[in-house]
Amino acid sequence: MKSPLEILQKYFGYDNFRLEQANAIENVISKKDTFVLMPTGGGKSLCYQIPALVLEGTAIVISPLIALMKDQVDALRVNGILASYINSSMSFFEQNETLNQLKNGKLKLLYVAPEKLSSENGAFLEMLREINISMFAVDEAHCVSHWGHDFRPDYLFLNGLKKQFPKIPVIALTASADEITRKDIIKQLNLQNPLVLISSFDRANIKYFVQSKQSVLQNIIQYLNEHPDDSGIIYCLSRKGTEELSKKLKENGINSAFYHAGISSLERAEVQENFLKDKTRVMVATIAFGMGIDKSNVRFVMHADLPKNLESYYQETGRAGRDGLPSEAILFYSSADVMKLKKFAMIEGNQEQSELMLQKLKQMSDFAEMQKCRRQYLMEYFGEKHDGNCNACDFCLSEFENWEATTDAQKLLSAVFRLKERYGKNLIIDFLRGSRSVKITDYMQTLPTYGIGNNHDKSYWQNLVTQLLINGFLSESNEDFSVLKLNEESKLVLFKNKKVIFRKVKEKAKAVNVDVVETHYSTSTIDKNPDLFLDLKSLRREIAERENVPPYVIFSD
Ligand code: ADP
Ligand code: MG
Ligand code: ZN
């Protein structure tokens, strides 16, 4: 009998095991349940493929996507391994042939879709009882959990597996599980005292960048022109989005195709194949594209729209650089995308689900907006320690300068107050900049703060609002739309001249990268701004009246 390492070298041509592969393999061989969490591209397949070759009998591999089974099985066959698959896309005759091989003990691995294990397929389950099964491998195991980001009802057929085949070891594999999902997978699959193996999620060869979504098309085209030899994936939220972007890229002479669940399966297979074989350079796709796709030389993964959560983001960006060579992940970020996804999350039927989605969305937008090493944020999100300074993300690679924003913050906060905390940021900014748009009523134009913010453009103010929000100087209530509200910190800025100093990336394009470096108090700011000074005086009095406290409690001057 060959050792796992010998099998790795002989059948797969690799020298060494990676990450937790060796431990997973050993545990499965000793017929115990195993849970493997490994990043995309980490090498989960070998964790069951090698034990399948060591153990007697046939390994049953449950895999969600019919389209991928064929690729995986073909790859195994090329290496001289007896593998096959069975799914509903095959003719009766083909299925029968595979079942005969299975009965005759000719297969080391059989890939099946989860619905094969439903009780409606009683005949198949009966057959499994009659053959020698070495193990069950549940690939993309997060699909069994409602908490995961890609729940698939068919995976629920797997709940009974352990009861029906109590002696057969199960290995569950996923790239995508926070702690709740991880526990839920183990519970749903009824794993018995499993060895839980969590490999580091850090993909050291991927650089992470977040850019403003403004002029996203030009930025993408520029990037593609500057990296003419690189192939990659651009994710969009909607099907239409993929078609439009792909069309625009083609108009600009870039070899691209689009992929989404709305095109025929025949077409999808072809589009996918062209990309795998380097005939298509840029794949513009919805999240329907990519699960399990093993193209090693994907040099970049871009997100033209914001992903719903960090699990998706990380899994999608993880498709870059499977060959270990330097690769880039670029997220084009806008707060408008956050609002859009918020709406989707809020119409989610079940309230618990909806709240979870909102929470995950918040973590996604914090990742983009926070002033922190991106890798550190990601690693900490997935439960790993990281001390920052990765030197391979836009934050770590940027130079910073201080941004003294106290006066502008006071202008903005007083505009929020003047408009009675009833409006969203766009109207407040228009008001502040003295816009004459129809939304700014005649009455508004008579208010003292009107127009005092015309020293900066709209995007400056938008950025300031974002930074005030993330750093807690301003709050936001979600009614039908987002309404800006003052909070205790806002009052400190307005009344006690609490200083607001952010750190900001020197480059113009990186306007979202800002952070507080210091907060202390000054007395000088207002005096230099007579307009604001006048307004603040009366404003302070009004707030004092409204809040029914004697003015001197709030007044600091
Ligand atoms: P995952 O399912 O975790 O996303 P795969 O099993 O598809 O990853 O493996 C990703 C790539 O890494 C494949 O090309 C695979 O052949 C390669 N790979 C896996 N294990 C090793 C190893 N020990 N040494 C080198 N390459 C490996
Ligand atoms: Mg895989
Ligand atoms: Zn970093």
Is residue 233's pLDDT more than 90? yes
Atom of ligand 1 nearest to the CA of 47: 6
Give yes or no for residue 208 having a pLDDT over 90. yes
Q: What are phi and psi of 40, to 5 degrees?
A: -55, 135
Angle between helices 351-369 and 374-381 (to 10 degrees): 150
- What is the 388 CA–ligand 3 centroid distance (Å)? 6
Protein residue whose Cα sits closest to atom 5 of ligand 1: 43
**Distance, first Cα to last Cα, the chain:** 85
Is residue 233 within 8 Å of residue 285, measured between CB atoms? yes
Tally the C-alpha atoms within 13 A of residue 63's C-alpha that lie toward its C-beta. 26
Which pLDDT value is given to residue 526? 42
More confident position, 532 or 475: 475
For ligand 3, the distance from its centroid to the CA atom of residue 465, given in whole angstroms, is: 25
The whole-number average pLDDT for the span 456-481 is 86
The Cα angle at residue 151 between residues 146 and 157, in degrees rounded to 5: 90
**DSSP state at residue 324:** S
Residue 524 token pair: 């000088």
Burial letters 28-57, b for 16+ CB under 10 A, else e: bbeebbbbbbbbbbbbbbbbbbbbbbbbee
**Confidence (pLDDT) at 59:** 98
Sign of the dihedral defined by the CA atoms of residues 424, 428, 429, 434, in that order: positive
Ligand 1 site-directed mutation target among 322, 325, 327, most atoms within 8 Å of CB: 322
**Residue whose CA is at the smallest distance from ligand 1 atom 23:** 17
Q: Exposed, middle or buried, 265 (CB in 10 Å: 0-12/13-18/19+)?
A: exposed
CA of 516 to the centre of ligand 3 (A): 18
Burial 383-405, CB ≥16 within 10 A → b, else e: eeebebebebbbbbeeebeebeb
Q: State the number of CA atoms in the 13 A half-sphere of 509 facing the CB.
A: 13
Alpha-carbon span 144 to 173, nearest angstrom:
11
Q: Is pLDDT at 551 greater than 50 in this prediction? A: no
Q: Which residues line ligand 1 (CB under 6 A)?
A: 14, 16-18, 21, 38, 40-46, 175, 294, 296, 322
Give dist(CA 426, CA 404) in Å, integer.
22
Collect contacts of 72-80 with beta carbons under 8 A, ≥24 apart.
Answer: 72/45, 72/111, 72/292, 73/109, 73/111, 75/294, 76/49, 76/109, 79/11, 79/12, 80/11
pLDDT of residue 513: 41
pLDDT recorded at residue 527:
42
Q: How far is the CA of 455 from the centre of ligand 1 (A)?
A: 55
pLDDT for residue 470? 82
Q: Is the pLDDT of residue 96 over 60?
A: yes
Least trusted range by pLDDT, from 29-33, 336-340, 509-513, 534-538? 509-513
Is residue 124 over pLDDT 60? yes
pLDDT, residue 120, reads 75
CB 163 within 8 A of CB 1: no
Sign for the CA dihedral angle at 312, 317, 323, 325 comes to negative
Find, among 182, 177, 186, the residue nearest to 159 by Cα. 186
Answer whether 0.80 is exceeded by the pTM. Answer: no
Comparing 352 with 47, which gets the higher pLDDT?
47
Q: What is the 3-class SS of 453-497, one letter each residue?
A: CCCCCHHHHHHHHHHHHHCCCCEEEECCCEEEECCHHHHHHHHHC
Indicate the top mutation candidate among 12, 16, 20, 316 to test ligand 1's pocket, ranked by most ligand atoms within 8 A of CB.
Answer: 12
Question: Given the CA of residue 44, which atom of ligand 1 is nearest to it?
Answer: 3
Residue nearest to ligand 1 atom 2, measured at CA: 44
Distance CA 136, CA 139 (A): 10
Question: Angle of helix 351-369 relative to helix 310-317, nearest 10 degrees?
Answer: 60
pLDDT at residue 480 in the model: 66
For ligand 2, the distance from its centroid to the CA atom of residue 521, given in whole angstroms, is 54
Task: Give the model confidence (pLDDT) of 391-448 as tens digits.
Answer: 999 999 988 788 899 999 999 999 999 999 999 999 999 999 999 988 999 999 998 8
- Least confident residue range of 92-101, 347-356, 541-550: 541-550
Scan for tokens 């107050």, then name that residue.
417
> What confidence category does residue 519 fall into, taking pLDDT thresholds of 50, 70 and 90?
very low
Task: For residue 387, give the ligand nearest its CA.
Answer: 3
CA of 473 to the centre of ligand 1 (A): 46
User: From the CA of 50, which ligand is nearest?
Assistant: 1
| 91-120: average pLDDT | 90
Q: What pLDDT is recorded for position 508? A: 42
Question: Ligand 1: which of 7, 45, 69, 325 to mutate, judged by most atoms within 8 Å of the beta carbon?
Answer: 45
Q: Give the pLDDT confidence score for residue 546 in this predicted structure.
A: 59
Distance of alpha carbon 58 from the chain centroid: 36
> Which residue from 154, 111, 151, 104 is spatially nearest to 132, judged by alpha carbons?
104
Strand ranges across the sheet with 282-285: 206-212, 327-333, 298-303, 231-235, 282-285, 256-259
Q: In percent, how much of the chain has pLDDT > 70?
A: 89
Q: CA 183 to CA 190: how far, in whole Å?
A: 10
Task: Return the number of other C-beta atoms located less than 10 Å from residue 252's C-beta.
Answer: 14
Q: Which residue has the higher pLDDT, 271 or 532?
A: 271
Q: How far is CA 510 from CA 269, 282, 331, in A?
A: 38, 24, 12
Q: Hey, whose CA ends up nearest to atom 16 of ligand 1?
A: 43
Q: Is 91 helix (H, G, I), strand (E, B) or coil?
A: coil
226 pLDDT above the threshold of 80 = yes
Nearest CA to ligand 1 atom 24: 14
pLDDT of 479 strictly over 70? no
253-311 confidence digits (pLDDT tens): 999 999 999 999 899 989 999 999 999 999 999 998 986 677 889 999 999 999 999 98
Query: From the CA of 45, how far away is ligand 2's center (Å)?
Result: 6
Report the nearest atom of ligand 1 relative to the CA of 18.
23
Q: Which atom of ligand 1 is nearest to the CA of 8?
A: 23
Average pLDDT of 207-231? 94
Task: Name the token pair of 118.
Answer: 């439903």
Residue 147 confidence (pLDDT):
77
175 CA: nearest ligand 1 atom: 3
Residue owning the nearest CA to atom 19 of ligand 1: 43
Closest ligand to residue 513's CA: 3
Query: What pLDDT shows up at residue 522?
Result: 41
pLDDT > 90 fraction of the chain, expressed in percent and rounded: 59
Taking the centre of ligand 3 as the mean of its atom positions, its distance from the CA of residue 209, in whole angstroms, is 9
| Tokens 């890939």 found at | 111
CA distance 498 to 429: 22
Q: What is the mean pLDDT of the chain?
A: 87
Distance 39 CA to ligand 1 centre (A): 10
Dist. CA 497–CA 492, nearest whole Å = 6
**Which ligand sits closest to the CA of 208?**
3
For the chain, the maximum distance between any two Cα atoms, rounded to a whole number of angstroms, is 91
Chain segment 318-375, per-residue pLDDT in tens: 999 988 899 999 999 998 999 999 988 888 778 878 888 899 999 999 999 888 899 9
Q: What is the mean pLDDT of residues 452-475?
A: 90
- Does the structure show a pLDDT above 80 at 545? no
- Tell me the CA distances in angstroms from 499 to 440, 466, 539, one per residue in order: 30, 17, 19
